[in-house]
Amino acid sequence: MQAQGYLLPMPPNHAPHELRRRLPRLFLGLVLCGWGIASMVASELGLGPWDVLHQGLSVLTGIPIGTMGILVGILVLALWFPLHERPGLGTVLNVLVIGIVIDVTLLWLSTPDSLTLRIIMMLAGPVLFGVGSGFYIGAGLGSGPRDGVMTGLARRGWPVGVARAVIEVTVLALGWLLGGTVGLGTVLFAVLIGPLVHWCLPRLTIPDLDVGQVRPPGVRSAR
């Protein structure tokens, strides 16, 4: 039996010579995203929608928030198959690396007594996440697992904005009911992350070797 009909061709960006260029940027982006989330967790002033859910589940189960993010990411990634989405190497590493970085960072990063320092940490979160998203998405090795669900729904007739809003409002409400932290940081993350990624992405996207031009991937969050 010929395997040709069952094997998907390797995406150009996943060729060995391309991975040598792209993986360092990918890992840097994921580490920055993890630091940004950990900074917001330690500030105790509010998290982004998905991290409110991860924190709520963490409160419920006792599992560290980063590890819970990995478990949720695996479940979300499983939804790609009925939606016929194709993950990249970056998609899989996204599920693992960000959660590990969050848990390791929170081993030494604690909540300061000073409200001023907590506000600085809260503000640092979206900035680190936005820059990290620019590196991560700009590496061109696959979208975040949560974005794959959004784009999969969009291909089935859902407007992209509606799909994103329904998903994020749902996870935010569920996370809040479970004990996740909703606050000023939640609002600032929602307001700032889009413009930050929009500014960073064209400046951090890796140009293709064959054409020497920057790919214009859509503005998406890393998660």
- Min mean pLDDT across 43-47, 142-146, 198-202, 208-212 is at 208-212
Give start and end residues of each alpha helix (H) in 79-159.
89-106, 115-138, 145-154
DSSP bridge pairs for 207: 214
pLDDT at 100 (0 to 100): 98
Residue-wise pLDDT for 196-207, tens only, equals 988 998 999 988
Tell me the average pLDDT across 50-61: 97
Phi, psi of 104 (to 5 degrees): -65, -40
- Say what the pLDDT of residue 158 is: 75
The answer on pLDDT for 217 being more than 80 is no
Q: Where are the domains of the chain?
A: 16-204
Highest mean pLDDT among 7-21, 159-173, 186-200: 186-200
- The stretch 42-48 carries a mean pLDDT of 97
> Residue 10's pLDDT is what?
55
Give the model's pLDDT for residue 6: 38
Q: How far apart are CA 12 and CA 186, in angstroms?
A: 37
Asked if residue 35 has pLDDT above 60, the reply is yes
**131-163: pLDDT as tens digits:** 999 999 899 898 888 877 777 777 777 776 777
Whose CA is closest to 43, among 126, 113, 125, 121?
121
Question: What are residue 214's phi and psi, to 5 degrees?
Answer: -85, 130
Give CA 63 to chain center in angstroms.
Answer: 20
d(CA 116, CA 120): 6
